[in-house]
């Protein structure tokens, strides 16, 4: 109870006249983001571990369920610690005070300016320590989630959760992909899960009714990304398949592109590099977590099938100019280890994507992927991506996609 009281009053304590220390103790921390200063009940908690490796490297490990994020871009200056999440541009800058941390989380990087209050308390491993009741229900199973019901923004999603004691892990799937790794708990009749991965900041809460439904649900991903939701168990609910959401326009002219790579050199689908090859073209953003999961999958595919005639091209929709986008694309390539072609396709947004993917009809999500055979014919288009956080769905995708690409590679030009 003492730790909980300390946690709830941590901002007040740390922003007072505390003595500062420039040493951060190794061990677990509970990090918290105050995404909206007017809604403290939606503060987003996450688990961290600070460690120094045997060779002296300082690292911060952030975890969401089975996902471990290693922050190695970590530096100290006096009583200030600087932490930059891998791949994405988000970063934390915080003061060390009485073995705790108080500072700011910049979701788009410090240069973008926007920030959330961040604080962290040492020694706390419970993700939601302010909720201490024993679980009054078990949410294990498949759920039909109705988001913003009765509004123009309404949608149906699927929640898949596993509960052990009061700890809950799982994910939420929608037509654009998934919310990746979520972790939380059930306390009494309250459900709560959260995640932070350098791109997403997500927290969902709900009450559990006597009938076993999730009611009065609230979601927050940013001060402007909020929704209400309800859910009920439904083991048979499905979403449209990724290759059913986008179609080729009838009588559209053949697909092609001519776009700059990170060196400014123009690359075209008509280049000799792609002649008689199976080409997978991905519309992505280096800011997109589902695109990261897809990139890691296709990185392995490229390693395994490049010599058999597979080529991959990532069309990156980023900032307004190539100059502003280049550092982000270079960072993404370096930290994912993807060795295939990356091109700047323009600013992110519906108009830009529809202009480049001019022969597609439907709601294009990030990522959207085109599978082109050796004759230059688009054989399949998929939009969205369900990554490893979805468990069996990801495993099925890996098997089906690998088999499909192998079939295309076996065909003659």
Which of helix, strand or coil describes residue 11? helix
- What pLDDT digit, counting tens, does each position of 122-144 carry? 999 999 999 999 999 999 999 99
**Per CATH, domain 242-410 is 3.40.30.10:** yes
**pTM of the full structure:** 0.91
Instruction: Express as a percent the part of the chain with pLDDT over 90.
Output: 85
Q: Domain 141-233: which CATH class?
A: mainly beta
**Of 198, 239, 275, 270, residue with least CA distance to 383:** 239
Q: Using pLDDT thresholds of 50, 70 and 90, give the confidence band for residue 378.
A: very high
Q: Are 66 and 234 in contact (CB under 8 A)?
A: no
- Alpha-carbon distance 362 to 245, whole Å? 6
- Alpha-carbon distance 289 to 197, whole Å? 8
Q: Using pLDDT thresholds of 50, 70 and 90, give the confidence band for residue 360.
A: confident
**What's the token pair of residue 330?**
């270079």
- What pLDDT digit, counting tens, does each position of 196-250 carry? 999 999 999 999 999 999 999 999 999 999 999 999 999 999 998 877 888 888 8
pLDDT recorded at residue 184: 98
pLDDT recorded at residue 245: 84
Q: Which CATH architecture has domain 2-122?
A: Beta Barrel (2.40)
Query: Do 2-122 and 141-233 have matching folds?
Result: yes
Pairing of strands 378-383, 368-372: antiparallel
Sheet holding 368-372: strands in order across? 341-347, 310-318, 278-284, 368-372, 378-383
- Alpha-carbon distance 64 to 337, whole Å? 23
- What pLDDT digit, counting tens, does each position of 285-306 carry? 999 999 999 999 999 999 999 9
Q: Using pLDDT thresholds of 50, 70 and 90, give the confidence band for residue 17.
A: very low
- Alpha-carbon distance 225 to 222, whole Å? 5
- What pLDDT digit, counting tens, does each position of 39-56 carry? 999 999 999 999 999 999
pLDDT recorded at residue 12: 47
pLDDT recorded at residue 385: 93
- What pLDDT digit, counting tens, does each position of 82-134 carry? 999 999 999 999 999 988 999 999 999 999 889 999 999 999 999 999 999 99
Q: Are 141 and 237 in contact (CB under 8 A)?
A: no
Q: What is the CA radius of gyration of the chain?
A: 23
Question: Does residue 35 surpass a pLDDT of 50?
Answer: yes
Return the domain boundaries, the chain. Answer: 2-122, 141-233, 242-410
- Alpha-carbon distance 167 to 169, whole Å? 7
Q: Using pLDDT thresholds of 50, 70 and 90, give the confidence band for residue 22.
A: low
């Amino acid at each position: 109870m003492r730790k909980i009281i300390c946690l709830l009053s941590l901002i007040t304590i740390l922003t007072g006249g505390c003595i500062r220390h420039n040493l951060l103790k190794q061990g677990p921390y509970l990090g918290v983001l105050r995404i909206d200063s007017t809604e403290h009940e939606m503060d987003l908690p996450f688990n961290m571990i600070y460690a120094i490796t045997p060779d002296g490297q300082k690292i911060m490990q952030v975890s969401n369920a089975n996902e471990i994020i290693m922050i190695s871009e970590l530096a100290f200056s006096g009583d200030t610690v600087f932490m930059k999440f891998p791949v994405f541009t988000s970063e934390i800058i915080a003061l060390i005070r009485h073995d705790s941390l108080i500072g700011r989380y910049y979701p788009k990087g410090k240069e973008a300016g926007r920030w959330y209050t961040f604080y962290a308390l040492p020694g706390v491993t419970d993700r939601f320590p302010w909720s201490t009741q024993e679980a009054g229900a078990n949410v294990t199973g498949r759920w039909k989630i109705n988001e913003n019901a009765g509004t123009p923004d309404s949608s149906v999603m699927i929640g898949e959760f596993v509960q052990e004691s009061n700890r809950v892990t799982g994910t939420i799937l929608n037509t654009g992909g998934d919310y990746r790794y979520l972790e939380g708990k059930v306390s009494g009749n309250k459900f709560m899960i959260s995640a932070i991965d350098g791109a997403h900041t997500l927290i969902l809460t709900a009450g559990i009714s006597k009938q076993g439904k999730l009611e009065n649900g609230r979601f927050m991903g940013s001060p402007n990304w909020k929704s209400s939701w309800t859910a009920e168990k439904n083991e048979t609910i499905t979403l449209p398949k990724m290759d059913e959401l986008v179609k080729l326009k009838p009588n559209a002219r053949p697909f092609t592109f001519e776009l700059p790579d990170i060196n400014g050199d123009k690359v075209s689908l008509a280049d000799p590099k792609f002649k008689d090859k199976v080409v997978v073209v991905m519309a992505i953003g280096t800011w997109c977590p589902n695109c990261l999961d897809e990139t890691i999958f296709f990185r392995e595919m490229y390693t395994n099938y490049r010599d058999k005639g597979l080529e991959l091209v990532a069309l990156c929709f980023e900032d307004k100019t190539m100059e502003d986008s280049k550092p982000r694309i270079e960072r993404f390539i370096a930290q994912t280890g993807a060795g295939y072609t990356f091109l700047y396709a323009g600013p992110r947004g519906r108009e830009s994507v529809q202009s480049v993917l001019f022969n597609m009809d439907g709601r294009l999500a990030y990522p959207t992927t085109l599978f082109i055979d050796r004759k230059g014919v688009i054989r399949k288009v998929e939009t969205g991506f369900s990554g490893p956080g979805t468990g069996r769905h990801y495993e099925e995708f890996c098997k089906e996609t690998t088999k499909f690409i192998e079939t295309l590679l076996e065909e003659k030009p």
